[in-house]
Amino acid sequence: MTATSDREQMAYVSAQAADARINVELDTGDMTLNIGPQHPATHGTLRIAARLDGEQVIAAEPIMGYMHRGYEKLCEVRTYPQCTTLINRIDWLGSFANEVPFILAAERLMGVEAPPRAQWIRTILFELSRIANLSLFLGDMGVQVGALTPVFFAFRDRERVLNQIEEVTGGRFHPNFDRIGGLKDDIPKGWVDETRSVMVKMRTFCDEMEDLLVGNEIFQARCRGVGVIPADMALGYGLSGANLRASGIDWDLRRDANPGLAWDQIDWRVWTHPDGDSFARYWVRLQETREATRMVDQLLDGIPSGPIMAKVPRIIKVPAGEAYISTENPLGEMGYYVVSKGDLGPFRVKIRTPSFNNISVVPWVMKGVYVPDVITILGSLYFILGDIDR
Amino acid sequence: MGDQPTPEETLPADEDRENLLTELSESLGEILVDSYLRPHEDLWLRVRVDNWHDAVRTAKDAGFAYFGFLSAIDWNIAPEGRYENTEFDAGLIEEDEEPVELDASTGYAGGDTRFQLLMQLHSLDRQLGVILKADLGEDLTVDTIRDLFPGADWHERETHEMFGIVFQGHPTLQPLYLPTEFEGHPLRKDFPLLARQVKPWPGVVDIEEIPEHLEAQLEAEVMAAFEAEGGEA
Amino acid sequence: MSLLALPYWQETAIKLGLALVVIPTASLILVYLFLFKMMAFMQSRLGPNDTGPYGSLQLVAEAIKFLQKEDIHPAQADRRVFRMAPVVVLASTFLLYVVLPAGPDAVVQNLDTGVFYAMAVSSLSVLGILMAGWASANKYALLGGLRAAGQLIAYELPLILAVMGVVIQAETLNLQGIVEAQATGEIFGFGAIGNPFILTQFLAFLIFMISAQAELTQTPFDMPVAETELVGGFHVEYTGFRFLLFFMAEFGTAFAFSALAAVMFLGGWWIPGFDVDDNVLNILGPGVMLAKILLIAFFIFWVRFTYPRLREDQLQKFAWKVLIPLALGNIVLTGIFKVVF
């Protein structure tokens, strides 16, 4: 299994580094370069200790923990509704999507099911936070390769989506809106039409990104063939989300393991790309953002009427049991393994975050690349630091 | 598995998972200690810790090649409880209700020891997930599965620093999150959460009911303000 | 003939004073127009709009801010070299302005080997950048300095080779001579607009602009600074006034290179319908030059705001495998045409 991937990796290294051989002959010394924890490309406080030979990376080791907040321990001393406040802050760019799997796990343990209307609105907000999250990635990837303009477009257009989320939930980044058994509130009047017009704008934004970056020769030169992750490596490292699909694996939890949201009632498709390089990861996310706007359009058409809250007791006690629920979050598979002992709060919560697995591939994929490629690979793997450190 | 909640009778049989369970119990044989199936939810398998590596390999050969996560559970009940014995927390428990007694049960598929290894794998072909568990002995040692799933590398490091479980054959069991000089294993139940011990948790105030004497007073204040604005009582 | 007949020292004093005003003003204009306003417009932002009319005094505020900042040296820095580096870079910019003509007599010093001189002093800045990168005692700065050295030397060649085409066609190294050659030239017997070399030397113009982009370390060739990789590269350790010097040098050089391109390819200060040595052009010429410079600078910054950055090896490949052969081919072609016609 590893033989093929190692060979691919070696071919990549030798193709990239024509001058490495000269360096070996001259017996140059190594240099350790600390990329981060304060570095514009690490979106927070990730640190990558890279051993360099010239500009070529010999070994790269991510060092994290600068933002470890111990959420798994803190969840153990909180009640279930209080946990969502913490969980919001794991992936802070797509925060509503964080709450959903945890709430679903608690609902499964309690045997409660949210009414259809709540499930639909959950799905809409879930996809909106995906658009908000991924649109920032689409612009930010431009900054990583040196183009400043896309990120400003991204900030401009993400604002519209955040406004829509804010109108429903009252919070731009930490909505804390999902409840066990349903939602806190219904959607406001006129919101559906506004959201529809925002979706049109987001599709224009995707077209702009396609023009500015995907079609750009320099962007392609920087990203194509860089940071190739073959399919078996992606599976072994447990990559998820667009990183997995960019390696040619057709796997999307929304379609393949839907935990009860409205994804199976609308018409959409999963995008994959066979290359597994940085460009493929960007391309897949671009298509996913566009697909998500179409999904929101369909979802807005079919919101069922009815209550938004199931009957749940005022003080929530979850019966003993265990449940693992994961959903396809903007960054990838986010799952909560909740162990309950019939108490007010969970006994143990294991938070399986996408970025943790996605970044664990870094030492493997960064052997032999150049320093600028470190940045594009990190950018294209797309992590949120709160999502790694938890 | 007598004390476990029985799955709802109304659900149709989950044939995929039942077939999977039969298949895996055959190939695992002696290694499988216990299993538990919740239809349309998940499948739990408890295996012997000495054969952890073999069990994971068997699962991988059966198609579970997509690594999810690896962690552990400490089934010990914390000596400090959930730090709920403060005055604030009193309001949480309704008067006519018995305080919750945490039982010593150890989850689905059972468990005999304090620490239990926990792992989740996906199968893309079957579109199913499986959860593997293993009871850890006194020495808290288990073989590494880094060679099967390279992604387990970091998860094992994390489990090591959080629970103190030793993965034999793992070359770099250095802390992942904590500073190098940190002592203790934070996710163990007997590791005190200092912040909570120093300061009581104020988070339950929002569901506390307003005491009766204050309620009357508040109502009077509101009425007074209403009348002062010239409204009719 | 000269407009004013002044003693040498008076003339020098006036020229020096003018240069000291022109260079900061030039960078100020570029920064305000392009970096602040055009960039903001392209990125659908407002840009500075509070300080002065349309935010035009923002740069003054920024300069005052820089002057107030503490002058920090890294502990391990080679202090003397660290302090000298920005001065060396700025000196290279200042020296460039010596030969830039803005009218028949509106030039600081009309050198016979003006083109040669301009190319020579512009490469001085490499030294300053390398000094800054080395003396900062910072790995990012060192990487940036080395990248800058490799890049500037690689792009010096196509730059000079591109200019060679112009020199062959104008038969002079004197910048005034090049303007004159364009003014008196004819296109197939039609001489009303002269013969701006952008028409005959279009390939050279393209190569010149691309190499100038690299010389100025503007995107897509901004690896020496590369904010997201090297966090600012060679000037990462500089603060306050010393950083301001680098900043001024960057935009001052951009202005100077635009001026060189305007002189060599767009006909310089000459206005169709005037004699080449008409005294009026000493008054009108600077305006014409400014318009042409802004036009060229617009393209430089347009590319800067639009394109992503290349990788170091791709940049070198582009210089050695594409630009230099093309420039050599251009020289051969120009030579053949020169002999034939």
Give the pLDDT of residue A11.
55
Residue C155 banded pLDDT, cuts 50, 70, 90: confident
Query: Which chain B positions have a beta carbon within 8 Å of A232's beta carbon?
Result: 65
Alpha carbons within 13 A on the beta-carbon side of A233: 25
Positive or negative torsion for Cα A343, A344, A350, A352: positive
Residue in A70, A352, A357 closest to B186 by CB: A70
Q: What is the average per-residue pLDDT within A316-336?
A: 86
Do the chains contact at C43 and A149, CB–CB below 8 Å?
A: yes
Express the helix, strand and coil content of chain B in percent, nearest 5 each: 30, 20, 50
Do the chains contact at A218 and C310, CB–CB below 8 Å?
A: yes
Within-domain flag for B125:
yes
Q: Is the pLDDT of residue C10 over 70?
A: yes
Query: Which chain C positions have a beta carbon within 8 Å of A149's beta carbon?
Result: 42-43, 305-306
Residue among A111, A94, A78, A179 nearest A323 (CA): A111
Query: Which chain B positions have a beta carbon within 8 Å of A257's beta carbon?
Result: 127, 129
Residue of chain B whose Cα is closest to the Cα of A85: B203
Q: What is the average per-residue pLDDT within C158-178?
A: 86
Q: What is the average per-residue pLDDT within C176-197?
A: 75
Within-domain flag for A26:
no
Give the pLDDT of residue B137.
81
Query: Which chain A positions have a beta carbon within 8 Å of C305's beta carbon?
Result: 148-149
Residue of chain A whose Cα is closest to the Cα of B148: A236
Do the chains contact at B150 and A344, CB–CB below 8 Å?
A: no
Residue B233 banded pLDDT, cuts 50, 70, 90: very low
Within-domain flag for A362:
no
Q: Is the pLDDT of residue C281 over 80?
A: no
* Choice between C120 and A19, residue whose per-residue pLDDT is larger: C120
Within-domain flag for B96:
yes
Query: Which chain B positions have a beta carbon within 8 Å of A361's beta carbon?
Result: 150-151
Q: What is the average per-residue pLDDT within B10-19?
A: 72
Residue of chain C whose Cα is closest to the Cα of A39: C231
* Choice between A271 and B106, residue whose per-residue pLDDT is larger: A271
Within-domain flag for A161:
yes
pLDDT tens profile A31-42: 788 887 777 777
Residue in B103, B178, B187 closest to A341 by CB: B103
* Choice between C84 and A13, residue whose per-residue pLDDT is larger: C84
Residue C251: CB atoms within 10 Å: 25
Percent of chain C with pLDDT over 90: 1
Residue A9 banded pLDDT, cuts 50, 70, 90: low
> C-alpha distances in angstroms, B89 versus A75, B78, B99, B202, C118?
16, 17, 12, 8, 79
Q: Is the pLDDT of residue A16 over 80?
A: no
ipTM confidence: 0.81
Within-domain flag for B8:
no
Residue A45 banded pLDDT, cuts 50, 70, 90: confident
Neighbours of chain B (3+ CB pairs under 8 A): A
B73 burial (CB, 10 Å; 0-12 / 13-18 / 19+) is buried
pLDDT tens profile C19-51: 778 777 777 777 777 878 888 888 888 878 888
Within-domain flag for B138:
yes
Within-domain flag for A340:
no
Q: Is the pLDDT of residue A229 over 50?
A: yes
Residues of the domain holding B140: 15-193
Q: What is the average per-residue pLDDT within C197-225?
A: 84
CA C263 to chain centre: 12
Residues of the domain holding A158: 71-314
CATH of the domain at B41: 3.30.460.80
Neighbours of chain C (3+ CB pairs under 8 A): A
Within-domain flag for A303:
yes
Does chain C reach chain A with at least 3 CB pairs under 8 Å?
yes
Q: Is the pLDDT of residue B88 over 70?
A: no
* Choice between B92 and B67, residue whose per-residue pLDDT is larger: B67
pLDDT tens profile C50-102: 887 887 788 888 888 888 888 888 888 788 888 888 888 888 888 888 888 88
What distance in Å separates the CA atoms of residue A107 and residue A122, rounded to the nearest whole number?
14
Within-domain flag for A222:
yes
- Our count of domains for chain A comes to 1
Within-domain flag for B161:
yes
Q: What is the average per-residue pLDDT within B188-203?
A: 71
Within-domain flag for B49:
yes
What distance in Å separates the CA atoms of residue C23 and residue C251, rounded to the nearest whole number?
9
Residue A94: CB atoms within 10 Å: 24
pLDDT tens profile A84-130: 888 888 888 888 888 889 999 888 888 888 888 888 899 999 999 99
Residue of chain B whose Cα is closest to the Cα of A244: B66
Residue A146 at interface with chain C, using a CB cutoff of 8 Å: yes
Q: What is the average per-residue pLDDT within B97-113?
A: 64
Residue B1 banded pLDDT, cuts 50, 70, 90: very low
Question: Which of A112-126, B80-94, C191-205 is least confident?
Answer: B80-94
Do the chains contact at C311 and A147, CB–CB below 8 Å?
A: no
Residue A153 at interface with chain C, using a CB cutoff of 8 Å: yes
Task: Work out the minimum CA distance from A256 to partner chain B, whole angstroms.
Answer: 6
Q: Is the pLDDT of residue A4 over 70?
A: no
Do the chains contact at A152 and C139, CB–CB below 8 Å?
A: no
CATH of the domain at A300: 1.10.645.10
Where is B229: in which H helix or E strand?
none
Contact partners, residue A29, CB within 8 Å, separation at least 6 = none
Within-domain flag for A202:
yes
Q: What is the average per-residue pLDDT within C219-244?
A: 80
Q: Is the pLDDT of residue A5 over 70?
A: no
- Our count of domains for chain B comes to 1
Give the pLDDT of residue A293.
92
* Choice between A342 and B177, residue whose per-residue pLDDT is larger: B177
Within-domain flag for A55:
no
Pairing state between β B128-135 and B42-47: parallel
Do the chains contact at B82 and A364, CB–CB below 8 Å?
A: no
Residue A218 at interface with chain C, using a CB cutoff of 8 Å: yes
Q: How far separated are the first and last CA of chain A, in Å rounded?
A: 32
Q: Which of B177, B182, B196, B208 to mutate to test the interface with A (most CBs of A within 10 A)?
A: B177
The 3-state DSSP class for residue A70 equals coil
